[in-house]
């Protein structure tokens, strides 16, 4: 869990803040998204993600730990059966915060916090990366083969300066004769 923020809490007391975050987490798991103020959304995100991680474990101890925060058994059931199943392939980042226009009335910065339900495209990315490394491995292999052939031809093409000076006029005369 992140380090506690210094300064005033979101509500009048720590107990009130805990209850308020528990109610917001319950609403988030019931509806999939909620609209709230930006500071409340930022405080809710670590709690909601930790509860989803417990739900992914799926054992009795995890269910009891979630029940300490979320008191509604039907919401806990939905969290453990549906939401945890959706998040099975995801390794964190279960929620998304989207800033929206300020709230009408007091102009508080508003945000939408929602569950990320899109499937993870990790396997496609891994396949693309493997294909890229395979191509990269083949390209240097071809380049080294070309360098090896050049390296073997290079000593033959290179000759001492004395021989090249003597052979150059002879080669020019041979070309003219042909």
CA distance 157 to 48: 72
Q: What is the CA radius of gyration of the chain?
A: 34
Q: Which of 9-13, 100-104, 152-156 has the highest mean pLDDT?
A: 100-104
Query: Which pLDDT score, from 0 to 100, does residue 22 have?
Result: 97
Evaluate whether residue 50 is within a structural domain: yes
Does residue 167 carry a pLDDT above 90?
no
Evaluate whether residue 78 is within a structural domain: yes
Evaluate whether residue 84 is within a structural domain: yes
Number of independent structural domains in the chain: 1
Q: Which residue has the higher pLDDT, 124 or 48?
A: 48
Does residue 113 carry a pLDDT above 90?
yes
Query: Which pLDDT score, from 0 to 100, does residue 139 have?
Result: 74
**Residue 63 is part of a domain; what is its CATH number?**
3.90.1030.10
Does residue 121 carry a pLDDT above 80?
no
Question: CA distances (Å), 116 to each of 3, 27, 29, 53, 103, in order?
Answer: 24, 15, 12, 14, 24
CA distance 74 to 70: 10
Q: What's the predicted TM-score (pTM) here?
A: 0.65
Query: Which pLDDT score, from 0 to 100, does residue 20 have?
Result: 95
- Whether the CA torsion 100, 102, 104, 105 is positive or negative: it is positive
Q: Which residue has the higher pLDDT, 123 or 10?
A: 10
Quote the domain boundaries for residue 48. 14-123
- Mean pLDDT for all residues in the chain: 83
Does residue 175 carry a pLDDT above 90?
no
Evaluate whether residue 157 is within a structural domain: no
Evaluate whether residue 172 is within a structural domain: no
CA distance 103 to 80: 33
Query: Which pLDDT score, from 0 to 100, does residue 138 have?
Result: 81
CA distance 116 to 131: 28
The separation between CA 151 and the C-alpha centre of its own chain, rounded to angstroms, equals: 45
Question: CA distances (Å), 72 to each of 33, 66, 68, 132, 156, in order?
Answer: 17, 10, 10, 49, 85
| Own/partner long-range contacts of 83-89 (Cβ < 8 Å, ≥24 apart) | 83/29, 83/52, 83/55, 83/115, 84/52, 84/55, 84/56, 84/58, 86/115, 86/117, 87/52, 87/55, 87/56, 88/56, 89/119, 89/120, 89/122
Query: Which pLDDT score, from 0 to 100, does residue 14 have?
Result: 87
- Is the separation of the CB atoms in 80 and 55 below 8 Å? yes
Which DSSP symbol is given to 118? Answer: S
Evaluate whether residue 100 is within a structural domain: yes
Return the percentage of the chain with pLDDT > 70, whole number.
74
Evaluate whether residue 142 is within a structural domain: no
- For the stretch 75-91, pLDDT in tens is 999 999 999 999 999 99
């Amino acid at each position: 869990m992140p380090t506690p923020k210094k300064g005033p809490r979101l509500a009048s007391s720590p107990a009130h803040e805990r209850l308020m975050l528990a109610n917001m987490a319950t609403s988030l798991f019931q509806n999939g998204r909620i609209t709230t103020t930006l500071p409340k959304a930022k405080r809710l995100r670590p709690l909601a993600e930790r509860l989803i991680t417990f739900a992914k474990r799926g054992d009795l101890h995890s269910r009891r730990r979630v029940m300490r925060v979320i008191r509604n058994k039907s919401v806990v059931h939905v969290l453990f059966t549906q939401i945890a199943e959706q998040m099975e392939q995801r390794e964190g980042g279960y929620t998304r915060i989207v800033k929206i226009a300020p709230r009408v009335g007091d102009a508080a910065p508003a945000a939408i916090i929602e569950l990320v339900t899109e499937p993870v495209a990790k396997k496609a990315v891994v396949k693309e990366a493997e294909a890229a490394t395979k191509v990269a491995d083949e390209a240097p292999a071809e380049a080294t083969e070309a360098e090896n052939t050049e390296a073997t031809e290079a000593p033959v093409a290179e000759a001492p300066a004395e021989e090249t000076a003597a052979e150059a006029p002879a080669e020019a005369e041979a070309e003219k004769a042909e």
